[in-house]
């Protein structure tokens, strides 16, 4: 169940390493293990060190979008260009803010930008991650072009609709 966010959430492309380090630190080892498909939990600092380049991706290779409440980072969306008009999506939401609409807000606000119209967004998630499944199969985001399940993973591709007039 998703709880409505009472506090204002600010979405920004001005993402700093310090903000992302705080966000990663606010995630449990299990959240980080599942997000990065790790075989075992790692300390937050090690996760940040390993994935820093991806977590801070920017144009022209993609986008990093941070959600904050007050001055606290609560969620991060990464879109990484991996092919012609194809991006891989990654979402990370701090444990206290999960199931409160942060990931939905990040994804919806970023994919509404004209830059992504017509692009294919690919996400690979844990097959048992029901929240991610609901997020990816939301018809407002576009119709899934392809969905494949392979063991413990589910990969979904969605073409971002052209802007509505």
Domains and CATH numbers, the chain: 9-159 (3.40.630.30)
Flag whether pLDDT at 3 surpasses 80.
Answer: no
Work out the widest C-alpha separation in the chain, in whole angstroms.
Answer: 47
The torsion angles phi and psi of 119, rounded to 5 degrees, stand at -75, 155
The pTM (predicted TM-score) of the whole model is 0.88
27-67 pLDDT, tens digit each: 999 999 988 988 888 999 999 999 999 999 999 899 999 99
**140 or 14, which is more confident:** 14
pLDDT-based confidence at 136, cuts 50/70/90? confident
């Amino acid at each position: 169940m998703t709880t409505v966010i009472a506090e204002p959430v600010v979405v920004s492309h001005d993402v700093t390493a310090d903000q992302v380090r705080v966000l990663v630190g606010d995630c449990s080892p299990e959240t980080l293990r599942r997000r990065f498909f790790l075989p075992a939990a790692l300390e937050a600092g090690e996760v940040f060190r390993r994935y820093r380049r991806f977590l801070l991706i920017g144009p022209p290779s993609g986008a990093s979008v941070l959600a904050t409440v007050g001055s606290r980072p609560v969620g991060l969306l990464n879109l990484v260009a991996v092919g012609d008009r194809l991006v891989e999506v990654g979402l990370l939401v701090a444990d206290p803010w999960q199931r409160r609409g942060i990931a939905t807000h990040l994804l919806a606000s970023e994919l509404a930008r004209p830059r992504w119209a017509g692009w294919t967004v690919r996400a690979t998630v844990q097959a048992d991650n029901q929240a991610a499944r609901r997020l990816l199969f939301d018809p407002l985001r576009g119709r899934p072009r392809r969905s494949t399940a392979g063991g413990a993973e589910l990969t979904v591709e969605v073409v971002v609709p052209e802007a509505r007039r």
